[in-house]
Amino acid sequence: MFATSLGDDGAELRPLEPWQAEEFLAHMDRGREFIGRHIALPDFVADLDSARAYLTSYAEKAAKDTGRLYGVWADGTLVGGALFRIFDAAGGTAEAGCWLEPSAAGKGLITRACKAIIDWAIEERGIHRVEWLASSANGPSIAVARRLGMTRDGVLRENYLYRGNRSDTEVWSVLAPEWRAAKAAAAS
């Protein structure tokens, strides 16, 4: 099985697939309240059937080259994920995102995982623009966008209705030339 090391702490990034539905559901149950503060993923993954359906939808996206889903494992336990919710290879654009259960927060796992998938998208697949959408109230997600070297493009005011409340969505992005320049600067 394919796995990408996320550093010397043993954390790994791997595809998250339908056969892992039980593990995915257990992970979601551990982090349901924390993850659900800003994103609806826990609302979609409520039982084994919905967990399998969610993972199957991303397997189908991967087969069509329109999305990707990866799990983040720490010490052999699924603790989060990174994904391309939208992946348009022909148009050269993608939208990246992530989630994490509380036990794994503050360790840099999501930043490292998202760096890995964005680097793959730009360097291997030729994606020109990677977007990141986050609730304006989701400080940790915005901090990841900053650490990834993204630029805040703007705010979609009160565009996201979630659990009866409207929130603003910040749009962040990084362009391939900016990504490569930042990598070159970090390497020197």
Amino acid sitting at position 166: R
Give the residue-averaged pLDDT of 28-42. 91
- pTM for this predicted structure: 0.93
174: alpha, beta or left? (left if phi > 0; alpha if psi -120 to 50): beta
pLDDT in tens, 144-178: 999 999 999 999 999 998 888 999 999 999 999 99
The dihedrals phi and psi of 125, each to the nearest 5 degrees, come to -110, -10
CATH superfamily of 4-187: Gcn5-related N-acetyltransferase (GNAT) (3.40.630.30)
Residue 69 CA, chain-centre distance (Å), reads: 8
Reported residue count of the chain is 188
Coil, helix or strand for 176? helix
Which string of b and e fits 128-153 if b means at least 16 CB within 10 Å?
Answer: ebbbbbbbbebeebbebbeebbbeee
Domain residue spans of the chain: 4-187
